Structure 1
């Protein structure tokens, strides 16, 4: 019973950590990586590029839904 509870807690923790949003520095790093990869082939693996493209897409969707900036001021 204790083992099963521990497994459930571990699974929920893993899901929670995977679902948390990246900060804007991750977005900036991914944009830079994709830019470098478009100029030079072989600078990043396909898995890294796929993940970065996903991060960029998620940020674009998040920014489209946002009505305030990072300081909480309304967007113009």
Structure 2
């Protein structure tokens, strides 16, 4: 019983934690469009959505800076 309780707590926390995975490029394009619309005028997007989109754009910029090949495996330089 002593060992089972920590295992159950850890399993519950793992199940509740949001999955961490890389966003695909379509999410990047949607986020870029949302941020551009927000810059042009008032939009229905909340500040939380805009913050998340800005984070996605930042992560893609860092990922692209480290990448030496395109999506098809061809060298960028």
**Take 1:5 and 1:62, find their aligned partners in 2: how far apart are those partners?**
35
- Where is the helix percentage greater, Structure 1 or Structure 2? 1
Report how far residue 45 of structure 1 moved. Answer: 0.5
Structure 2: any 5+ residue segments left out of the alignment? none
RMSD: 1.8
TM-score (norm 1): 0.81
Structure 1: any 5+ residue segments left out of the alignment? none
Residue matched to 2:69 = 68
Whether 1:8 aligns to 2:10 is yes
Cα deviation, 1:26-76, whole Å, max 9, x if unaligned, reads 000000000111112133100000000000000000000001110111112
TM-score (norm 2): 0.80
Structure showing greater Rg:
2
Stretches (4+) displaced over 4 A: none
